[in-house]
Amino acid sequence: MKVPFNYLPQQFGDATPYLEEWRKLAASGEFTLGPFVESFEAKFASYVGARHCISTNNGTDALILALKAAGIGAGDEVITVVNTFYATVGAIVAVGAKPVFVDCDERFQMDAEKISPAVTPKTRAILPVHWAGASPDVNRILDLAEAHGLAVIEDACPAVGAYVDGKHAGTFGKLGAFSMHPLKPLNVMGDGGMTVTDDDALADWMRKYRNHGMTDRDHIDFWGVNMRLQPFQAIVGSRVLDTVADLVRLRNRNARQLDAGLRQLPEFVTVAERPARHVEAQQLYMACFKRRDQLLQFLIGRGIEAKVHYPVPLHLQKAAAALGYKRGDFPVAERQAEHLITLPAHQFITAEQIDYILENIREFYLGTQGLGKLEETITVGR
């Protein structure tokens, strides 16, 4: 049996649903911003519950746009979590600021209690990440930000469809950024991003900046850049947005089945807790495993496309050398990087494929004699 990580051929293999709108786009000639992009922005803002959505050509630019709108620049420090994807920190560096890392918790999320010791007179913002489609303790982070007089700019790039207490990820802080990379819950046939805010003045500035600072064809208010989302991708994103609630439901169904099976192996596997107040988008299903490297190769050899996100925390990357961190500074992230595996759990994975994943993990640790109790385990998870 094959269990693929990449589901894009299943999702986009038939482009027929998009053809009518693409034909309308071609006939309109509105290839730069225009009504297709504006319609998508309004739809996304409504979906997440934000006053404004400003689309961009990728999630990294959405983060850069949010940071620049908040006035973050040279000489400033921004606190973020050390186990995030490169783009989070690359965006901070791109605006001239210095990233300051804090450790993560056992849920792979920013440890809010590590924030205050990281604050200095140069700190301007906290940039929490809704890593893997789950959410950190955003309410605690907001309280800390208020106490220290800092802005909160959320990296919700992996988290379309995620909620805390009924409020959508990315809408808690002053600004939030989202990605439509092909392997995000809301995805397109290429790249795309969005920045959201409830602040009218910030929204007006961002709309201008992502389009060269233009107010109309003949005038600019300030020097900007081209961060525009392509209308072609806005059409794709708009249609996929209609399916997000269903795909998040299916991903969580798969996650529950994996949770139930893996929790029967507590001596070998650590499964993250899932707070009842949270709805996770399940962009990545991660757990920590003993003998990770051997298990990873075993699963791949059985046709299960497991991955690691990521084996080297950011503070140990060559790019971070000038920041002065060393091994041991962030023990939770370092430990997780040595043990975590990401298992396929997307919306196209079937219950039978989840069974197959669990059977192989159990066989790896217990041998074939350990398979007897598996059926009961899996039934509980469904």
Average pLDDT over residues 75-89: 97
For residues 88 and 85, give the distance between their C-alpha atoms in angstroms, rounded to a whole number. 6
Are the C-beta atoms of residues 129 and 82 closer than 8 Å to each other? no
Q: How many CB atoms lie within 10 A of CB 355?
A: 19
Q: Which residues contact 123 (CB under 8 A, 6 or more apart)?
A: 76, 77, 78, 79, 100, 148, 150
Over residues 86-95, the mean pLDDT reads 98
Reply yes or no on whether the pLDDT at 191 is more than 90: yes
* Residue 43 exposed, middle or buried by CB count within 10 Å (0-12, 13-18, 19+): middle
Q: pLDDT at residue 153 above 50?
A: yes
User: Region 32-51: what's the mean pLDDT?
Assistant: 97
pLDDT tens-digit readout, 326-377:
999 999 999 999 999 999 999 999 999 999 999 999 999 998 655 555 554 4
Domains of the chain as residue ranges with CATH:
8-241 (3.40.640.10), 244-381 (3.90.1150.10)
| pTM over 0.85, yes/no | yes
The pLDDT value recorded for residue 373 is 55
What is the predicted pLDDT for the residue at 379? Answer: 42
What does the pLDDT average to over 195-215?
97
pLDDT of 45 strictly over 50? yes
Predicted pLDDT of residue 370: 57
Interatomic CA distance for residues 150 and 345, integer angstroms: 36
Q: Tell me, what's the pLDDT at 378?
A: 47
Element (H, E) at 341: strand 340-343
Average pLDDT, the chain: 95
